[in-house]
């Protein structure tokens, strides 16, 4: 199962993003495939916060636009929303300790732990910080890898 990180969601939503066209194509690819795909719950929260933030976007998405976007993704029949369970703590604790994670990096560790717990095959993200979590395979679908789009 492929999971999508916040930045892919934001770029796909924001038409003024440099990466909009590519991110929208990537999102359509997973949403229209026959396989399940995932969004970690924290990424939905973060998407809403970033898209509606007036210091990040001028103008920001309205709360209604951001909510409508989330609801459109939720209509995808193969979407699986993944979240913590009590078993995630052991994974998260290991990621925090082995990666010496503190402060704002805890959010990424949380997303990584959720993905690992749910058996996500690869997290699509433009955030290189996830490379600290060796147990989670990541891919930036917005750039070419070995000649592949």
Interval 5-22: pLDDT, tens? 999 999 999 999 999 999
Tell me, what's the pLDDT at 144? 72
Look at residue 96 and tell me whether its pLDDT is greater than 50.
yes
Q: 41-51 and 63-74 helices cross at what angle (nearest 10)?
A: 150
Position 147 scores a pLDDT of 46
Q: What is the CATH number of domain 2-139?
A: 3.40.50.1010
102 has a pLDDT exceeding 50: yes
**Neighbour tally for 105: CB within 10 Å:** 15
Q: Quick one: pLDDT at residue 145?
A: 62
pLDDT of 146 > 60? The answer is no
pLDDT more than 70, % of the chain: 97
The pLDDT of residue 7 is 97
Return all residues near 103 (Cβ < 8 A) that are at least 6 apart: none
Name the residue with tokens 């440099």: 18
d(CA 10, CA 37): 17
Structure confidence at residue 13 (pLDDT): 98
CA distance 131 to 74: 28
- In Å, what is the CA distance from 37 to each residue of 24, 28, 47, 127? 15, 11, 17, 19
Mean pLDDT of the chain: 94
């Amino acid at each position: 199962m492929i999971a999508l990180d916040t930045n892919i969601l934001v770029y796909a939503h924001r038409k003024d993003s440099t990466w909009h066209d590519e991110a929208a194509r990537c999102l359509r690819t997973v949403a229209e495939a026959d396989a399940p795909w995932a969004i970690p719950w924290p990424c939905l929260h973060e998407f809403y916060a970033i898209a509606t933030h007036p210091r990040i976007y001028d103008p920001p998405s309205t709360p209604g636009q951001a909510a409508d976007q989330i609801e459109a993704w939720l209509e995808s029949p193969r979407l699986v929303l993944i979240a913590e369970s009590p078993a995630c703590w052991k994974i998260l604790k290991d990621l925090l300790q082995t990666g010496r994670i503190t402060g704002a990096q805890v959010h990424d560790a949380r997303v990584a732990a959720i993905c690992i717990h749910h058996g996500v095959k690869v997290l699509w993200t433009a955030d290189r910080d996830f490379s600290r979590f060796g147990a989670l395979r990541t891919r930036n679908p917005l750039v070419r890898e070995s000649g592949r789009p």
